[in-house]
Amino acid sequence: MIKHVLLRAASVMAVVAGSVVATAPAYAIINGKPATASYSFVVSVQREYGGDPNTQWCGGALVAPTWVVTAAHCVTKPGVDGAPYTPVAPSTWHVRVGSNDRTRGGSTANVAEIEVAPGYVNRADRNDGKDIALMRLDKPMAQRPIALAVVAPAPGEVVRQLGWGYTDIEQNKPSELPVLLRQLDSPVVPPNSPQCVADPVAGDSYGIRPHDFCADYPDDVSGSCGGDSGSPVIQAAFGRYQLAGVQSRAPGDVCGQSPDIDTSVAHYRRWILNAMG
């Protein structure tokens, strides 16, 4: 099962009978546990797929009443004719906000607009970072947004990954995605750690880039997976959680067996605030 593109879901395309169709979400949190708290800001990004109008596709975080942060690869496809990416229509997506159960509770909204970070490029065989995007919702949410981190988490600090991705590397059908939110606490490791830079088999195509950080659970079998793309990576600070990162990818092919590469929200804080207006 391919891990390196957590993504691995939303941006990969397949050609079937001469037409281009979206592939199913790849893999979630392997060896995580059920969420131990209710997170008002957590977002399930959903779309129609395979006859299910509410297929879990990616995650996100509510950062303002009408704005959600997610991964850029969740809302784009590879570019053609020299374009850095091909946008997916905002009307493709809808969200459920503030419920640990992705099928009920919280609030729902449609996506009205998408903003992708400057410099992001969607490639089918590589991720060069800048993997962050904003979704503007068609109505304000009542749930409390999460604060944006001011500084990136340092090596040795612990971050919490949230998500509804697959929980077993043998799973590969959307119907196998968990209904209830899961979490995993992982330490941040130095960005020059060999396992963050490249995978022995897959190389450096999905390794760490500037303005990313690397979280590596030490057992080599735990981590995020495809349905977790775009989901929040949070950190406790000053008595509350802040959004430290956006789940992006991993250098290796098997979920949990290589570290997670997350986009640092602190670096993109000014862009996020300016884009929201």
Average pLDDT over all residues of the chain: 87
> Where residue 192 falls among pLDDT bands split at 50, 70, 90?
very high
Q: Where in the chain is the domain with CATH 2.40.10.10?
A: 13-25+40-145+269-276, 148-264
pLDDT for 170 equals 67
User: 159 has which bridge partners?
Assistant: 186
Pick among 2.40.160.60, 3.40.50.1100, 2.40.10.10, 3.30.70.100: CATH of 13-25+40-145+269-276: 2.40.10.10
More confident residue, 96 or 222: 96
More confident residue, 2 or 83: 83
Beta strands in the chain (DSSP E): 13-16, 19-22, 33-34, 42-49, 52-64, 67-70, 76-78, 85-87, 94-97, 107-116, 133-137, 147-148, 158-163, 182-189, 212-215, 232-237, 240-249, 260-264
pLDDT for 6 equals 47
Distance, in Å, from the CA atom of 69 to the CA atom of 81, rounded to the nearest integer, reads 28
More confident residue, 66 or 167: 66
Beta strands at 33-34 and 85-87: parallel, antiparallel or unpaired: unpaired
Taking only the tens place, the pLDDT of each residue in 91-147 is 999 999 999 999 999 999 999 999 999 999 999 999 999 999 999 999 999 999 999
Amino acid present at 153: P
Cα 47 from chain centroid? Answer: 15
Compute the C-alpha angle 30/33/38, nearest 5°: 125
Which three-class secondary structure state does DSSP give residue 7?
A: coil
- Domain topology for 148-264: Thrombin, subunit H (2.40.10)
Distance, in Å, from the CA atom of 5 to the CA atom of 73, rounded to the nearest integer, reads 9
More confident residue, 224 or 144: 144
Buried (b) or exposed (e) across 235-248, using 16+ Cβ within 10 A? Answer: beeeeebbbbbbbb
> Where residue 224 falls among pLDDT bands split at 50, 70, 90?
confident
Taking only the tens place, the pLDDT of each residue in 253-271 is 878 778 999 999 999 999 9
Q: How many CB atoms lie within 10 A of CB 40?
A: 18
